[in-house]
Every structure is written in C-alpha cells, then in structure tokens.
Amino acid sequence: MNRTNPSIPSATVDLRVLVAEIREVVARGYSAETTAQLVGERLAPRLGLPGLLTEAQCQGSPDRYHQHLLHAEPDGSFSLVALVWLPGQSTSVHDHVSWCVAGVHQGQEHERRYRLLTVSPIPRLVAIQDVVNQVGDISAFAPPGDIHRVQNAGSGRAVSLHVYGADISRLKSSVRRIYRLPTDQ
C-alpha cells in the first residue's frame, strides 16, 4: 500500500504522474460530478498502456475479484486501486461511499446500472442500462444514482483502475451499501 508521496515505491513512473495529476484535480475543490469528470480525463489516456501497472498489480484471485490498493492520499481525499477480475467474477449490486471513476485497462467489464424504485410497497431495483466497457472506456459517477453490478463475462483477465474520493486504505472498500432487493435481472 502506498500512503505517502512523492515516493510511491511500487508505482511505475506513469502511475506516479497519474497520482500527481489526480491530486491537482482533487485539490481544486470542485463538485463531486466535476471532479469525477476531470479525473476521468486524466485517467483515460493511460488505460491500456504497457508499463502503467506492474505484473503483481495485475494478479487476480481464484476466489473473487481482487483489489490492489495503489495509492491512498495521506489527507484521505482520494484513493487509486486496481481491480482484477478473472472470467465469471462479479460484484454484488452496490453503490459507493463517494464519487468514483473507473476505467478499463485490460479486457472488458460488463456493467448493469440500476435505479432504486421506492414508490411501490416493496422497494426494488430496475435495470436502466447495460454497458460493455472496453479498454480505454471510463465510467464516472457520484452518489446518489450510482447503483450497479460489474462482472467479467469475457474469457480472459480484466483489469480496471478505480479512483475514489475516499480513503480506501482506511475504509477497506468503496462500497457504501449492498442491495439485496428484488431486481429485474
């Protein structure tokens, strides 16, 4: 885990530059939506580039998708993680503790986005969009309205970079809530 700067021991030069650019954007103090958009603009050009991550930072786990914490800003303002997905691995339906930017670095991720309906006697989730994110694709969002499930439906490993407006080293997860409501799968 990397908590201090300017030295990020396990980071590549490109990753160090990305962290510095994210820090500059976050320091501006814009709204969550604007911050996520601007961070996404910094992340997108680096996705898919060889040498951005080390091989160790791209290792998965046979049990479930694996999170590698790449950087947690000392003041808690943002974290950068690599999520590694082996074929068939997925998240639960969830939302987040903060704004988030996710970009596919390798493979592809299938994402289903939901809207929470509370007008009926039994709250439920309605799928509003299915997206297949390819290398270089970015998703940027901020609560509320950030309910989704992500999976690797491909035949190879998928790696994505996620930037959260929270200290994931302290929280251990970006997930605010897991939804176990009826969904229209």
Query: What does the pLDDT read at residue 79?
Result: 94
Which pLDDT band holds residue 6 (cuts at 50, 70, 90)? very low
In angstroms, how far is CA 130 from the centroid of its own chain?
Answer: 17
The residue type found at 131 is V
Whole-angstrom CA distances from 67 to 25, 90, 172 are 24, 12, 10
Query: What does the pLDDT read at residue 91?
Result: 86
Q: Are 17 and 70 in contact (CB under 8 A)?
A: no
Which pLDDT band holds residue 168 (cuts at 50, 70, 90)? confident
Residue 33's SS3 state is helix
Evaluate the omega torsion of the peptide bond into residue 144 and state whether it is cis, within 30 degrees of 0: yes
The burial class, CB within 10 Å (0-12 / 13-18 / 19+), for 55 is: exposed
Mean pLDDT score, 26-53: 95
Query: What does the pLDDT read at residue 184?
Result: 60
The residue type found at 155 is S
Which pLDDT band holds residue 157 (cuts at 50, 70, 90)? very high
Residue 102, pLDDT > 50, answer yes
Q: Which of the pair, 30 or 96, is modelled with greater confidence?
A: 30
Q: Which of the pair, 94 or 74, is modelled with greater confidence?
A: 74
